[in-house]
Copies of this chain bind each other. A is one copy, B any other.
Amino acid sequence: MNPSAKASVPVIRRLPKYYRYLRALKDAGVNSISSRELAAQMGTTASQVRQDFNCIGNVNGRQGIGYSVDKLLSILEGLLFGGGDHLPAILLGCGRLGTAVSSFIANNNNGFTLIAAFDVNPALMGQTISGIPIRPLDSLEDFCSQRHPQMAVLCLPRSGAEQISGRLVELGIRGFWNFSHYDLSVSYPDAVVENVHLGDSLMSLGYRLRND
C-alpha cells in the first residue's frame, strides 16, 4: 500500500510547497535540512513538518544532520508527478483565461499534458492554443472515447461549466481544475476538484485591505 494514501487534503495541499522549497534548497547546493530550519523558511512549525513527512512515507531525519533533500525530493516527485508519467488533460473554454491557463500547463512540468482544447465559438475553429488545435464542443464524445483524458480544465462561465460537467464525468473525466464559479463538488462528490476562484481571492484581499 502506498503510505501516501493516508495523507489528508490539508497535508496534500502543503506537499507542493515543500517541493518548491526543497527544489530551491537543492538549487542552492543544500544537501540536508532540519525540520526546524525548513519550518522557519515556510512559516510553519517543526512539529507540523515532521507530522507531514510521516504521512508521505518512510522519511526519517537523522539526529544532528536532518533530512536528506534529495531523498525528500525524490519521494515528493513520485507522489506529485507519478515519476514523469503525465496525465492527459483537456481544456474547456479558449478565451483569455483559457489561453493563459493552457500556456501555464504547457510551460510548467506539473504532471499533466494538455491533449485537446474545446470551445463553442465557430471563429476559433482551426486555430491553436498553446500549440493544440481548438475543436468544436460537439466532437467531445468522439475525442474522449478515443483518447481517454482524465482531467478537464474549466475556463468557462458558470452556466457553461454547469452544463458540461455532468457530460465530462460520464465521459470518464475524474478530475477538474476549475476556474469557473460553478461548485462542482456539490453535484459530483466523487470527482477530484481543485478550484481556482480568482474573483473570490481578489474580493477577500479587498475586504482585508478595507477592514484590517
Central interface residue in A20, A96, A158, A202, by most chain B CB within 10 Å:
A202
Asked if B207 and A15 sit within 8 Å, CB to CB, the answer is yes
- Which segment of A30-38, A45-53, A100-108 sits at the interface? A100-108
Tell me whether chain A's interface is mostly helix, strand or loop, or mixed: helix
Q: Is A181's beta carbon under 8 Å from chain B?
A: yes
Q: Known interface pairs A19-B203, A202-B111, A207-B79. Does A196 touch B196 (Cβ–Cβ under 8 Å)?
A: yes
A82 to B9, CA, bound (A): 34
| Residues of A within 8 A of B (CB-CB), count | 62
Asked if B87 and A209 sit within 8 Å, CB to CB, the answer is yes
Asked if B199 and A16 sit within 8 Å, CB to CB, the answer is yes
Asked if B20 and A181 sit within 8 Å, CB to CB, the answer is yes
